[in-house]
């Protein structure tokens, strides 16, 4: 099997309103930039991948010329090509694995030596919000059938972050698993001199 074409499209997906992503404080956006990539093979299999950002131009100029004619199963060898093209190009790897799974007639979790047959889905909050808005969102997600939710935390005081968790837990009657994402909490207190 050989790669015969790579098509990448930049998409702008509108949001229903303004969004303030927790990982970019101060940003207010009304859309999401996304790149959809399709890798076609000479056996009629098309692998699909996607990533945030607009990377279609980079894929067309820095990835496609080097992947045409290559074996899509050679993921380790081909990774150096899209790794060198810059960040946000791992959608190529996703599309290659989509080809491999389709060619094998198996879902990837089986090809990768699955341990579980199912993974519970969870809803994810994008914004920080307030305890009240997180409680309202938790109820919304619970009403859609989700049994777990991820909250974004990034307040100066841990007590303020815990107020988000407490509000969501109370609103859902404790029947929703709560996960926290504190990866934006980068202003950790400095230890006193000589204290480890």
Tell me the pLDDT tens digit for each residue of 133-182: 999 999 999 999 999 999 988 888 889 989 999 999 999 999 999 999 87
In Å, how far from its chain's centre is CA 18? Answer: 20
Mean pLDDT of the chain: 90
Q: Which H helix or E strand runs over 160?
A: helix 158-171
Domain identity same for 83 and 154: no
- Residues 131, 164: contact at Cβ < 8 Å? yes
Amino acid 119: pLDDT? 80
- Residues 152, 134: contact at Cβ < 8 Å? no
Phi-psi region of 69 (alpha: psi -120 to 50; beta: other; left: phi over 0): left
Taken in order 130, 131, 136, 137, is the CA torsion positive or negative?
positive
Count of domains observed in the chain: 2
Mean pLDDT of the region 121-129? 90
Amino acid 22: pLDDT? 84
Domain identity same for 12 and 82: yes
Please tell me the pTM assigned to this model: 0.77
Amino acid 196: pLDDT? 46
169-193 pLDDT, tens digit each: 999 999 999 999 876 665 555 555 5
Residue 58 lies in a domain: yes
Mean pLDDT of the region 16-40? 91
Domain identity same for 25 and 69: yes
Instruction: Out of 59, 84, 111, pick the residue that ends a domain.
Output: 111
- Expressed as residue numbers, the domain containing 95 is 3-111
Mean pLDDT is highest, among 111-120, 123-132, 166-175, for 166-175
Give me the CATH number covering residue 40: 3.30.390.10
Mean pLDDT of the region 3-16? 96
Amino acid 157: pLDDT? 85
57-80 pLDDT, tens digit each: 999 999 999 999 999 999 999 999
Residue 187 lies in a domain: no
Domain identity same for 106 and 56: yes
Residue 186 lies in a domain: no
Domain identity same for 97 and 45: yes
Residue 193 lies in a domain: no
Domain identity same for 137 and 91: no
Q: Which two tokens stand for residue 158?
A: 């841990």
Measured CA angle at 28 (ends 22, 32), to 5 deg:
85
Domain identity same for 11 and 82: yes
């Amino acid at each position: 099997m050989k790669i015969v074409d790579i098509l990448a499209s930049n998409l702008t997906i509108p949001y229903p309103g303004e969004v303030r992503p927790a990982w970019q404080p101060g940003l207010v956006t009304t859309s999401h930039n996304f790149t959809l990539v399709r890798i076609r093979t000479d056996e009629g299999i098309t692998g699909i991948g996607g990533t945030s950002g607009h990377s279609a131009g980079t894929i067309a100029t820095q990835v496609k010329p080097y992947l045409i004619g290559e074996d899509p199963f050679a993921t380790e060898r081909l990774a150096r090509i899209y790794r060198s093209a810059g960040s946000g190009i791992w959608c190529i790897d996703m599309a290659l694995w989509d080809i491999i799974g389709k060619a094998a007639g198996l879902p990837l979790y089986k090809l990768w030596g699955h341990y579980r047959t199912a993974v519970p889905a969870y809803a994810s909050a994008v914004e920080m919000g307030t305890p009240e808005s997180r409680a309202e969102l938790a109820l919304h997600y619970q009403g859609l059938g989700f049994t777990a939710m991820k909250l974004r935390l990034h307040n100066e005081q841990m007590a303020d972050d815990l107020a988000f968790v407490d509000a969501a837990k109370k609103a859902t009657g404790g029947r929703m698993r709560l996960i926290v994402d504190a990866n934006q909490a980068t202003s950790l207190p400095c230890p006193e001199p000589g204290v480890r």
